[in-house]
Every structure is written in C-alpha cells, then in structure tokens.
C-alpha cells in the first residue's frame, strides 16, 4: 500500500519555482513595428530573461547546477553565454522542461535548474506556414498535406474545429468569447503586446485566416525570452516565503498519426487529456473543482474549449455553453489565460504561461489577479502529446 501511495505521489512537491523573468516583449514589439532593428537574438533574449529570473530568486549564478533550454536556442552556447558550468542539462519545450527539472531534482542529478527560452521569431521572419515553413520536412504534416494547401498548423486546426462545431453545435460567437476574454485580461497586463479590448462584434467581423478561424483566433508572432528557476523544495522554502510548489505533472502521448494531427482531427485529443487528468489530479491530490485558474496552450483559440472538456471542467460537447456564460473570463468560475495568453500577451510557445501560473499563485498579478488563487492548472496538447502541470501554494 505504501509503495502504491508513493507511486501516485510521483513528482509531487519535489520542487518549487523560486524565480521567474522575461524580456520586455511589449516594448520590443512596438519598437519593431516602428521600424527599429532588433538588438538581441534568441540567445540574448534568453540571457536577459535568465538574469531577471536569477534576481527574482535570490540565488547566485554559482548555485545553478542544471540547465534546460528551449528548442529555439543551442544548449551549449546558452550555457557559455550565461556563464554556467552545470553538471546536468539539455533541451526541451516549456512543459517537458518543467517535468524534466523535477525528475532531475528527484533523482539527485541537480538541485537548482534554470529553464531558459529565447525566440527571435519576428525579427528573424520565421514562417509557420507556406513553402518555407519553420521546420520544413521535419514536420511531416507539412509534407503529407501540402498537395491540398495545408502547409500550416492553422489550416489543420481549422479543419479540425470545423468538424467539432458541426458535431457539437458550438457557435462562432461562443468561440469568439475566448479571444474577447483574453484580450480583456491583456488590457490589465502592462506587459501584453495587445492591450486594446475587443468586442464580440470586432471578432465576428474580423477577417478569416482559414475559416472558421478568424484573425483573433491566431496567436501573435513576436520576439521574447522567458526563464524560470526551479529548486529542490526544501531548499526553496529557505530562499523565499512564497515558493510556488509543483504539485503534480502528467503526460500521455497519442503517437499513431500524430505528425498529421490525426488524433486531434478524429478525437480532439480527448482520450489523451482524460488520461492525463487522472494522472495530474491524482498526483496533486486535487480535482477540477479545486483549480483557481487554468493556463492553456493557445496557439489557436480552439485549444481552449477542447481542454475544458478534456480535463473535466465541463462535459464533452459542453464547452460552448461554458464560454457563452463567461466562466472562462476574469471573474468567472475558471479564469483562463489570465495574462492574455498567446493570443494577446505574447507568443512564447507555452513558456509565458508558466510565469503567469507562478505569479497568480504568488498573488502578484495586480488588476488581473484571481482572488484566493491556490492552484493553477497548465495544459498543453500539441503534436500528439497531452501534458499538464499543477502549480500551487
């Protein structure tokens, strides 16, 4: 029985976030729009975010003995620039970087791990669609679907969500509530790239990029950097009075057909999300009713209704009603993407969501703060992977 309890506990409360930092993406975006040339590449953006996260943590550079960098930056070069001589490290996306840091701390491979991401995607004119889409043939979905004009993830998500709308009856104005609510949150966030509120009328009259997805359903493309410092839990408590504990993590992959987005096109990742929900909630010892806020990976707005259903915040097919009632907005029962998310704050490929989760638990989000925020659930589902992290006090 004790072994079973330990297995369920897994990585719960092994590590805490003690430092967060990011670059000035609002200022940088405005400067680039005004014609100014970017001064930092992806490594420089990551380095600036790291310096700010280290300062936030109260640690010294020499305390860092682990390093994970985002896939947009070279691991060895980032370590050199940061002046880190770590004993353990590697590369990972935002969600897996957090999980890997917890695993390294649990196994004794590291005690204090820096997670660093930088991306100069706007200034370097990275394309996420077209004949020269980022990643090229390494993203097999581009190869398989190119003859039909599907050379971007947006086209595939549009196809998927059209089917979902037909099956569930979700209306365009209900999906539009995602973009409207996240822009309202961003209007309270001085760091957000897009701060001007929009109405549902603005959404419905905006241009389609790939029907049924409008302009406001698509994420931003901007430069930026994000960093987190994750520390062994006992040590974290000695560093600051408000370490943010990682209470649970979960992952489940649907590998069959994943490169062509088949799992999303056919089942909307619902089976994977339901399996991850059991993992992460069981490990954290909480349920959907205990979650104060959700941060959901939103390269497109349609991620939101699918995750709401997959993790049990509403029944399958019930996301339209949930959104229409505004339960996902600030002041609702489950505020989602309270910084503005990828749609309005900054497209940092899931890294910015981690910072918002930490700040909400700390209670430092100002006018967009969720009252009595005890637990924040982060969800991501891309390329066949469903991943979750629960942060809390």
Distance (Å, rounded) from C-alpha 389 to C-alpha 52? Answer: 23
Higher-scoring residue by pLDDT: 9, 294? 294
Checking if the pLDDT of 31 tops 90, the result is yes
pLDDT of residue 3: 47
Q: What's the whole-model pTM score?
A: 0.94
350-393: pLDDT as tens digits: 999 999 999 999 999 999 999 999 999 999 987 778 999 999 99
207-257: pLDDT as tens digits: 999 999 999 999 999 999 999 999 999 999 999 888 999 999 999 998 887
- Cβ-count burial 363-390 (b if 16+ within 10 Å, e if not): eebeebbbeebbbbbbbbbbbbbbbbbb
Any residues with CB less than 8 A from the CB of 10 and at least 6 apart, and which? 248, 249, 283
Q: What is the mean pLDDT of the chain?
A: 92
Checking if the pLDDT of 6 tops 60, the result is no
**Which residue from 367, 348, 366 is spatially nearest to 378, judged by alpha carbons?**
348
Assign 3-class secondary structure to 191-225: CCCCCCCCCHHHHHHCCEEECCEEHHHECCCCCEE
Checking if the pLDDT of 68 tops 80, the result is yes
State the pairing for strand pair 112-119/88-91. Answer: unpaired
Checking if the pLDDT of 336 tops 50, the result is yes
Q: Which uninterrupted H or E stretch holds 392?
A: strand 385-392
Confidence of residue 1 (pLDDT cuts 50, 70, 90): very low
69-87: pLDDT as tens digits: 999 999 999 999 999 999 9
Examine the residue annotation and report whether 29 is marked as an active-site residue of this protein.
Answer: no
- Cβ-count burial 217-252 (b if 16+ within 10 Å, e if not): bbbbbbbbbbbbbbbbbebbeebbeebbbbbbbbbb
pLDDT of residue 154: 87
132-179: pLDDT as tens digits: 666 554 455 555 666 666 778 888 889 999 999 999 999 999 999 999
Question: What three-state secondary structure class fits 269?
Answer: coil
CB atoms within 10 A of CB 119: 27
C-alpha of 51 from chain center: 21
**Which residue from 1, 3, 4, 13 is spatially nearest to 249, judged by alpha carbons?**
13
**Residue corresponding to tokens 């609002």:** 26
Axis-axis angle for helices 94-107, 351-362 (nearest 10)? 70
pLDDT of residue 262: 79
pLDDT of residue 131: 66
Main-chain dihedrals φ then ψ at residue 12, nearest 5 degrees: -60, 130
Q: Which of 142, 269, 297, 313 is catalytic?
A: 297
177-217: pLDDT as tens digits: 999 999 999 999 999 999 999 999 999 999 999 999 999 99
Average pLDDT over residues 14-26: 97
**Which residue from 17, 135, 113 is spatially nearest to 67, judged by alpha carbons?**
113
pLDDT of residue 133: 66
**Where do the H-state alpha helices sit in the chain?**
2-9, 25-33, 42-57, 75-82, 94-107, 140-145, 153-168, 172-186, 200-205, 233-239, 262-267, 270-284, 303-310, 319-324, 341-344, 351-362
Checking if the pLDDT of 7 tops 70, the result is no
Q: Which of 29, 347, 378, 391 is catalytic?
A: 347
CB atoms within 10 A of CB 132: 10
pLDDT of residue 153: 82
126-142: pLDDT as tens digits: 888 776 666 554 455 55
pLDDT of residue 4: 44
Examine the residue annotation and report whether 117 is marked as an active-site residue of this protein.
Answer: no
Domains, the chain, in order of start with CATH, read 14-125+220-392 (3.40.47.10)
271-315: pLDDT as tens digits: 999 999 999 999 999 999 999 999 999 999 999 999 999 999 999
């Amino acid at each position: 029985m004790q072994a079973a309890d330990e297995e369920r506990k897994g990585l719960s409360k092994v590590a805490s976030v003690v430092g967060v930092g990011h670059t000035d993406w609002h200022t940088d975006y405005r400067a680039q729009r005004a014609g100014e040339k970017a001064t930092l590449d992806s490594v420089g953006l990551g380095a600036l975010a790291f310096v700010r996260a280290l300062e936030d943590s109260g640690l010294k550079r020499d305390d860092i003995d682990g390093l994970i960098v985002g896939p947009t930056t070279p691991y060895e070069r980032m370590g050199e620039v940061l002046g880190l001589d770590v004993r353990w490290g590697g590369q990972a996306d935002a969600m897996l970087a957090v999980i890997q840091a917890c695993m390294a701390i649990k196994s004794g491979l590291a005690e204090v791990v820096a997670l660093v991401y930088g991306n100069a995607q706007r200034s370097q004119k990275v394309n996420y669609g077209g004949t020269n889409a980022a990643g090229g043939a390494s993203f097999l979905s581009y190869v398989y679907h190119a003859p039909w004009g599907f050379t971007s993830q947006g086209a595939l998500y549009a196809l998927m969500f059209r089917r979902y709308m037909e099956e569930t009856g979700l209306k365009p104005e209900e999906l539009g509530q995602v973009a409207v609510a996240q822009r309202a949150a961003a209007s309270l966030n001085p760091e957000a790239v897009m701060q001007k509120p929009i109405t549902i009328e603005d959404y419905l009259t905006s241009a389609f990029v790939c029907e049924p997805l409008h302009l406001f359903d698509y994420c931003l493309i901007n430069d930026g950097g994000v960093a987190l410092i994750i520390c062994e839990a006992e040590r974290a408590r000695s560093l600051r009075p408000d370490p943010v504990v990682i209470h649970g993590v979960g992952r489940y992959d649907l590998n069959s057909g994943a490169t062509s987005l088949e799992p999303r096109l056919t089942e909307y990742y619902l089976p994977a999300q339901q399996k991850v929900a059991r993992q992460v909630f069981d490990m954290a010892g909480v349920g959907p009713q205990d979650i104060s806020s959700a941060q959901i990976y939103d390269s497109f707005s349609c991620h939101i209704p699918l995750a709401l259903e997959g993790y049990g915040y509403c029944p399958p097919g019930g996301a339209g009603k949930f959104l229409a009632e505004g339960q996902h907005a600030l002041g609702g029962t489950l505020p989602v993407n309270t910084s503005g998310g990828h749609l309005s704050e900054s497209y940092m490929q899931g890294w910015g969501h981690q910072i918002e989760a930490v700040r909400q638990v700390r209670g430092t989000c100002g006018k967009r703060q969720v009252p009595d925020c005890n637990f924040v659930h982060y969800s991501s589902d891309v390329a066949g992977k469903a991943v979750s992290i629960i942060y809390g006090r």
